[in-house]
Structure 1
Amino acid sequence: MNIAEILTAGDGKKHFSFEVLPPLKGTGTERLFSTIEKFKDFDPAYINITTHHSEFVYREIEDGKFKRLRVRRRPGTVAVASAIQQEFGVPVIPHVICSGASAEDIEYELIDLQFLGIENLLLLRGDKAKEDSRFIPVEGGHTHTTELIEQVNRFNDGFFYDGTPIKKPGKKFAFGVACYPEKHEEAPNIEMDMEYLKQKQDLGAGYAVTQLFYDNQKYFDFVAKARQMGITIPIVPGIKPFAKLSQLTVVPKTFHCDLPQELAQEVLKCKTDDDARQLGIEWTTEQCRQLYAAGVSNIHFYTVSAVDSVREVAKRLL
């Protein structure tokens, strides 16, 4: 089913979805499947599979010099999405990203996903390399998500990236994109960032899922401003429970989002990581109750390093 149809069904149900990270290569699916088992009884609307095409490592060569190489530490989302779909029968949404992939690489991902009957995608630029000051695509790759969307649209219309017609076009992909209630770190201002979101909608994005946030008012303000700008697609709140004392400084730096003063003050009272985890569960539960009460139909959970916390929140809500 097209995920946008689930998000706009108007059935009055409280839906939720969650994101998983492919396992490190060589470690198998046991841990991944165990994570999904923890949420299966709550009837998730869909499962997102994140991806990291490659990352840079430095390897020493002759004369003490180092060479920068790209390596992949995790399998791609195609294999993982197929395994999850076969094992659990839950709709899956693999991430397809620009980072570390050429247009040709992406084309083969689309072909494989279509063969597997996977119809929904989340299209993203992906992160820049930590060592780079700006995002640099691989040779033959895309710089912006809009370019990736255009490639998927051409594929949907029955043409390969080089313009060659596809002899037997398959079922078209539906796709969503990311958005940022507190602005993408590279955007000069929130208005321009939202103009990019409007472009993605106009190119065919069926919904958007937000970067994580801890202040619901920022989400509500973002949605209100989006509607004023003509952005009409569902905007799914992305939530991740606060889980460790160190996240008081790590989360704002890594995800470029503020912690509300009330939450920050409560974290400072915590003595241990377990105290912080319990606080995160309480905060997230209340945050989600407010979102559902405001008419949000689906909440998306980021589970990396927070699986048990998200399960506890789901138990309280669903």
Structure 2
Amino acid sequence: MKVTQHIERANGKTLFSFEILPPLKGQNIQSIFDSIDPLMEFNPPFIDVTYHREEYEFKELPSGLLQKKIVKKRPGTVGICAGIQNKYEVDAIPHVLCGGFTKEDTENLLIDLDFLGIDNVVALRGDALKNEIYFKPEKEGNAYASDLVKQISNLNKGVYLDEDLQNSSCTNFCIGVAGYPEKHMEAPSMDSDLHFLKQKIKNGADYIITQMFFDNQKFFDFVEKCKKAGITVPIIPGLKPIATKKQLNLIPHRFKVDLPDDLIMEVVKAKDNDAVKQIGIEWCLQQSKALIQAGIPVLHYYSMGKAENIKAIASEIF
């Protein structure tokens, strides 16, 4: 079932969803199931599965030259989605990236997903590789998320890359895209960021999932700005409870989001990471309650494969 259909059928009730990482190469899918099992009592209608593109590693040869090697550290997104739908009978939503894919690769991936009965995808540009300053698209790939959305939307209309195909079948994907309440880190301004978000909706996106935020007012302001820009699709807030002191520096650096001073000082004063985890749970719980009170259709939690703190929050509200 499509995310938009889940929202419509909820009749105003706020739904619970979460996002998981594929395991590191060498681990099996049971590690994923172990992180999902504790959260199934809250009846998530869908679970997101991230995609991690290849990375480059360099090995020094005896000659002194460097050999570039492509490494995929977290493969398995498609297989995990199939496993989730088979085991739990809930919708699994794979992330599909521009980075690391040609347009033909993307088309073939989407055909596989369609054959598996997957109804939803999240279309993302993807991040730059660690050795890159800026994102570099594949030579024959999509450069922007809006281009990827358009390719998926074209498949939904039966338009494939090979124009000579006859009687081609239409896919029927519900397309999610990312939104940034504090703007994308590379956007020069919020207005320009909203301009490109609107382009993704124009190209066929059906809903928005936001980057994590820790101040609900920033989310509400973002929703209002989207409305003024003519964006009317559902906007799902992304939430993450802080769990370690290290994240005080890591989250703003990695994701370019602000942390409220009150939260920062509580974490700074905490005796250890167990205390930090409890602070993060309480903060995220209050965020969640306020969002539910505001009638938000879905709360989406970035679990990062750790269910304990998400379960503590969900137990209070779902």
- Superposed pair shares fold, TM > 0.5: yes
Q: Structure 1 residue 212 and structure 2 residue 220: aligned?
A: no
Partner SS, residue 95 of structure 1 = strand
Give the alignment's TM-score, normalised by structure 2: 0.96
The residue that corresponds to 2:190 in the other structure is 190
Alpha-carbon distance in structure 2 between the residues aligned to 1:61 and 1:138: 27
Alpha-carbon distance in structure 1 between the residues aligned to 2:144 and 2:279: 38
Please report how far the alpha carbon of residue 218 of structure 1 lies from its aligned counterpart in structure 2 after TM superposition: 0.3
Please report how far the alpha carbon of residue 220 of structure 1 lies from its aligned counterpart in structure 2 after TM superposition: 0.4
Amino acid at match of 1:292: I
Q: Structure 1 residue 226 and structure 2 residue 234: aligned?
A: no
Please report how far the alpha carbon of residue 140 of structure 1 lies from its aligned counterpart in structure 2 after TM superposition: 1.2
The residue that corresponds to 2:87 in the other structure is 87
Alpha-carbon distance in structure 2 between the residues aligned to 1:24 and 1:166: 41
Amino acid at match of 2:212: L
Which blocks of at least 5 consecutive residues in structure 1 are unaligned? Answer: none
Please report how far the alpha carbon of residue 168 of structure 1 lies from its aligned counterpart in structure 2 after TM superposition: 4.2
The residue that corresponds to 2:296 in the other structure is 296
Report if aligned partners of 1:182, 1:257 keep a CA contact under 8 Å in 2.
yes
Report if aligned partners of 1:267, 1:276 keep a CA contact under 8 Å in 2.
yes
Report if aligned partners of 2:7, 2:298 keep a CA contact under 8 Å in 1.
yes
Partner SS, residue 86 of structure 2 = helix
Count of residues in Structure 1 that have an aligned counterpart in Structure 2: 318
Q: After the TM superposition, which residues 154-303 of structure 1 pair with which residues of structure 2 at under 5 Å, given as runs?
A: 154-165=154-165, 167-303=167-303
Q: Structure 1 residue 107 and structure 2 residue 107: aligned?
A: yes
Report if aligned partners of 1:237, 1:299 keep a CA contact under 8 Å in 2.
yes
Report if aligned partners of 1:98, 1:126 keep a CA contact under 8 Å in 2.
yes
Please report how far the alpha carbon of residue 149 of structure 1 lies from its aligned counterpart in structure 2 after TM superposition: 1.2
Q: Structure 1 residue 48 and structure 2 residue 36: aligned?
A: no
Report if aligned partners of 2:95, 2:121 keep a CA contact under 8 Å in 1.
yes
The residue that corresponds to 1:130 in the other structure is 130
Report if aligned partners of 2:49, 2:94 keep a CA contact under 8 Å in 1.
yes
Please report how far the alpha carbon of residue 11 of structure 1 lies from its aligned counterpart in structure 2 after TM superposition: 1.1
Amino acid at match of 1:152: I
Alpha-carbon distance in structure 1 between the residues aligned to 2:144 and 2:228: 24
Please report how far the alpha carbon of residue 53 of structure 1 lies from its aligned counterpart in structure 2 after TM superposition: 2.5
Please report how far the alpha carbon of residue 159 of structure 1 lies from its aligned counterpart in structure 2 after TM superposition: 2.6
Please report how far the alpha carbon of residue 305 of structure 1 lies from its aligned counterpart in structure 2 after TM superposition: 5.6
Please report how far the alpha carbon of residue 167 of structure 1 lies from its aligned counterpart in structure 2 after TM superposition: 3.7
Alpha-carbon distance in structure 2 between the residues aligned to 1:264 and 1:77: 34
Inter-CA distance 166–2: structure 2 relative to 1 (3 Å threshold): farther
| Partner deviation per Cα, 1:103-126 (whole Å, 9 max, x = no partner) | 111111111111111111100011
Inter-CA distance 166–122: structure 2 relative to 1 (3 Å threshold): farther
| Partner deviation per Cα, 1:55-80 (whole Å, 9 max, x = no partner) | 11112224222133322122232111
Alpha-carbon distance in structure 2 between the residues aligned to 1:305 and 1:29: 12
Please report how far the alpha carbon of residue 295 of structure 1 lies from its aligned counterpart in structure 2 after TM superposition: 0.9
Partner SS, residue 237 of structure 1 = strand
Report if aligned partners of 2:244, 2:273 keep a CA contact under 8 Å in 1.
yes
Report if aligned partners of 1:99, 1:137 keep a CA contact under 8 Å in 2.
yes
Alpha-carbon distance in structure 1 between the residues aligned to 2:209 and 2:45: 14
Which blocks of at least 5 consecutive residues in structure 2 are unaligned? Answer: none
Alpha-carbon distance in structure 2 between the residues aligned to 1:198 and 1:218: 19
Please report how far the alpha carbon of residue 165 of structure 1 lies from its aligned counterpart in structure 2 after TM superposition: 2.5
Alpha-carbon distance in structure 1 between the residues aligned to 2:166 and 2:195: 33
The residue that corresponds to 1:141 in the other structure is 141
Partner SS, residue 64 of structure 1 = coil
The residue that corresponds to 2:11 in the other structure is 11
Please report how far the alpha carbon of residue 286 of structure 1 lies from its aligned counterpart in structure 2 after TM superposition: 0.5
Partner SS, residue 39 of structure 1 = helix
Partner SS, residue 129 of structure 2 = coil
Please report how far the alpha carbon of residue 202 of structure 1 lies from its aligned counterpart in structure 2 after TM superposition: 1.0
Report if aligned partners of 1:243, 1:306 keep a CA contact under 8 Å in 2.
no
Alpha-carbon distance in structure 2 between the residues aligned to 1:288 and 1:22: 26
Please report how far the alpha carbon of residue 182 of structure 1 lies from its aligned counterpart in structure 2 after TM superposition: 0.4
Amino acid at match of 1:146: S
Give the alignment's TM-score, normalised by structure 1: 0.96
Q: Structure 1 residue 60 and structure 2 residue 56: aligned?
A: no
